[in-house]
Amino acid sequence: MDTNDQKSESGLGRRDLLKVLGGVAVANGLGASTWAALELLVPSATADTWHKSVCRYCGTGCGVLVGMRDGRVTDVRGDDLAHNKGVICVKGSMLRALPYVKGRLTTPKIRRDGRLVDATWDEAMSHVAQTFKDAIAAGGPDSVAFYGSGQLLTEESYTANKLFKAGIRTNNVDGNPRLCMGSAAAGYTQVYGKDEPPGSYEDIDYADCIFTIGANLFECHPPLFERVQQRRRASKGTRLIVVDPRRTRTAEHADIHLAPVPGTDLLLLNAMAQVICEEGLLDTSFIDKHVRFSDGQNTVDLAAFKAFLEKYKPEAVASELGIAAHQIREVAFLFARSRATTSLWTMGINQRTQGVFLNNMLNGLHLITGHIGRPGATPFSVTGQPNACGGVRDTGALGHLLPAGHVVANEGHRRKVEQLWGVEPGTISDKPGLDAVSLFRAMGDGRVKAALVMCTNPAQSLPAADRYRAAMEKCFLVVAEIVEDSETAQFADVLLPAALWIEKEGVTGQGERRYQLIEKLMDPPGQARSDLDILVDLADRLGHGALINARTPEDIWDEWRQFSVSSMYNFKGMTRARLEKERGLQWPCPSEDHPGTIRRYVAGDDPLVTNGSAMEFYGQPDKKAIVFLRPYVPSPEHTTEEFPFYLTTGRVLEQWHTSTMTGRIEELAKASGDAVIEINEQDAWKLQIAKGDSVEVRSRHGTLQGSAQVASSPRRGVVFATFHDAKLLINRVVADNVDPISREPEYKVTAVSLRKVGT
Ligand code: SF4
């Protein structure tokens, strides 16, 4: 099978797309003057066999083909038959190097006299089990915790959730999806009564207006960016609007780029809604049939919604927002008047103290204009991790959740889940578990005495990192890791070697409700085990082996599939045999002959729509979606004379998250380089800072030093840094204020000072 010559809709071949999406940086990083350098990164076929799989990294969830020879990965290519149509980014193209990165952890280790020393699995797991038992005996079940990841496989998160909530009887199960998508999940749930996006990536192919806010698709979700560009090439009138305080590589391609002051963009969304009301751009027919308005407490009418918006007239908010009133009006008009509008957003919206309100309003703009449920018309929260949706949101592996949209706080839900799990009524605690930030605080004050951390790197990824690194030192920390020297591994009392990607098997659920199977193609190095095997071992040692009766990925998937039947997440039709054959399936998918659901809530597509209407928001009791009246509240992080700049953080194309994996792949590391402090050129001039100078960044939460990059891309008063680089560890200075509903931290807004400290 050779996909090299496959042309995309844009007429570009796969390698051309790689060049477009990532090749420039890679070639530059290698010091190459020609594109030939890229060919070194994408070797010609050297494989004996090719296997369908899924990229290990981001929530785009690209289908890939893995080429193998003599038990080793020799090539990875985009899968033309998958949803990404063969397009992958430079990270995906370098997947072939992932299993072989330097520093793989191959032996369990126990901390003795301050040093991690080799141990047997039995020694390590006995120590873990005994310490957990002692902590539970002394302080009760809530003195232990599980901190997981949107990168664990679905079967692993499902098993951890069941073990801790129904076995140990604590709801202290949370994970890094809280840090990136908590606000999106809460936003959808409030509006539709159910989590997860109503639309699909396919909607990009039909949109006439693509409204991108708080998302840098070019660098973070390149195949989606390419899809946007393909749509624009195919349909010349399609407009791309980008809202971002930086002129990102996505914004460079926009028809309109709006750069708000960080933390203010609820003003923009409310002002757009005000213009839509004032100019008669509402879809009143859609509203009458499918929408209810709420002030958060009570149902209100459309007149109350209009009255609420009066104070958000563009002229009233322009100054604080930093965007001219006429631009707000223009964007509102384009959004509402297009034939089909797709909104795409991610961490810039979610990682905010008003993240849920922002998500509410983005969905609300679609509901008041009727831009939902048609091809090209959808509000779409793009996700960052490969299995945050399927593995964590859907399985309910967060402190307040239970599987398939059930919640801890609801007694009926607890009884139902207990029955499905075959445990006694009353087994599941009625106390919601600690959210991520609260969980690490509880480690610091001794409430949580022992915790199992899997597949994530909180010592680098948490905001106000020093605060939580200190907390980790006080807790008995068990860390399952792929490498021996991640930031979090430094705090481990027991370090367990974990398998990654195709060294184990299971299902992942990417950002458009698509479940895909990753099959095991090779053995992990040394003594490394899958996270599932570690969890099953722990269950046995804690005396919960009977509860965790499904122990293989296939058996667990079948149990979870059966569980889903009783819910609106129904995916019973996604048998393992189908997932082996097909390029993923989107739920709902209740039967084996169902093709999966591209557009939720739409009759004829979504099998759960029952009443014969064209659309039905069946997650709400009255089947109507809710448009909320959401007042803007300024961020607690505000600039002052002492802290006159806003710091905002993000990613680069070549690195993924904290770069535990991609940072060890030489070509990617060379291409991205080290993280720098990006400063607006006018600000730099005023502070006499030049490129390469050493600068101090200080906030109310920490201080660090880094190398300056002077650029025109951030708006004046904004400083930017990527969080992939542990040497800079920008999260040391990032604020840890959280959204009061989603408990997601506001990574995107921190007031800082800047000072040149060296040249
Ligand atoms: Fe696709 Fe994301 Fe992997 Fe790139 S990192 S190939 S966009 S899944």
Given 3-state DSSP classes, what are the helix, strand and coil percentages for the chain, each rounded to the nearest 5? Answer: 35, 20, 45
> Same domain for 748 and 728?
yes
Helix (H) or strand (E) holding 480: strand 476-481
In a domain, 373, yes or no: yes
* CA 459 – ligand 1 centroid, Å: 24
Most informative mutation of 55, 56, 93, 387 for ligand 1 (most atoms within 8 A of CB): 55
Tokens at 45, concatenated? 């076929």
Please give the residue range of the domain that contains residue 694.
645-756
In a domain, 560, yes or no: no
In a domain, 220, yes or no: yes
* CA 78 – ligand 1 centroid, Å: 9
- Do residues 481 and 664 touch, judged by C-beta distance below 8 A? no
CATH number reported for the structural domain that contains residue 519 in this entry? 3.40.50.740
> Same domain for 327 and 347?
yes
- Tell me which residue of 732, 735, 736 sits closest to 751, measured CA to CA: 735
pLDDT of residue 4: 35
> Same domain for 411 and 340?
no
Domain boundary among 344, 365, 384: 384
Domain boundary among 333, 359, 384: 384
Q: Going by C-beta distance under 8 Å and a sequence separation of 6 or more, which residues neighbour residue 256?
A: 239, 240, 241, 242, 327, 330, 331, 334
> Same domain for 315 and 282?
yes
> Same domain for 193 and 72?
no
CATH number reported for the structural domain that contains residue 36 in this entry? 2.20.25.90
Q: What percent of the chain has pLDDT over 70?
A: 94
Most informative mutation of 60, 94, 514 for ligand 1 (most atoms within 8 A of CB): 60
Least confident of 38-42, 203-207, 433-437, 500-504: 38-42
401: β partners: 407
> Same domain for 73 and 125?
no
Q: In ligand 1, which atom is closest to the CA atom of 223? A: 7
CA distance 617 to 25: 44
> Same domain for 296 and 395?
no
Mean pLDDT of 404-421: 97
> Same domain for 395 and 380?
no
In a domain, 498, yes or no: yes
Total number of domains constituting the chain: 4
> Same domain for 206 and 160?
no
Which long-range contacts (C-beta less than 8 Å, at least 24 apart) are formed by 22-26? Answer: 22/89, 22/90, 22/91, 22/93, 22/222, 22/653, 22/654, 22/671, 23/90, 25/90, 25/652, 25/653, 25/654, 25/671, 25/672, 26/90, 26/654, 26/667, 26/668, 26/671
Mean pLDDT of 582-596: 97
Domain boundary among 549, 576, 596: 549
> Same domain for 62 and 27?
yes
In a domain, 662, yes or no: yes
In a domain, 421, yes or no: yes
* CA 9 – ligand 1 centroid, Å: 19
Q: What does the DSSP 8-state code read for residue 45?
A: P
* CA 7 – ligand 1 centroid, Å: 19
Model confidence band, residue 45 (pLDDT cutoffs 50, 70, 90): low
pLDDT of residue 21: 45
CA distance 271 to 336: 13
> Same domain for 126 and 74?
no
CATH number reported for the structural domain that contains residue 658 in this entry? 2.40.40.20
In a domain, 558, yes or no: no
Q: Is the dihedral of CA 100, 101, 107, 108 positive or negative?
A: negative
Q: Going by C-beta distance under 8 Å and a sequence separation of 6 or more, which residues neighbour residue 555?
A: none
Mean pLDDT of 383-403: 96
Query: Alpha helices, DSSP H only, in 263-344?
Result: 265-278, 284-290, 302-309, 314-321, 325-337
In a domain, 578, yes or no: no
> Same domain for 336 and 302?
yes
Q: In ligand 1, which atom is closest to the CA atom of 89? A: 4
**pLDDT tops 90 at residue 402:** yes
- pLDDT tens digits, one per residue of 464-499: 999 999 999 999 999 999 999 999 999 999 999 999
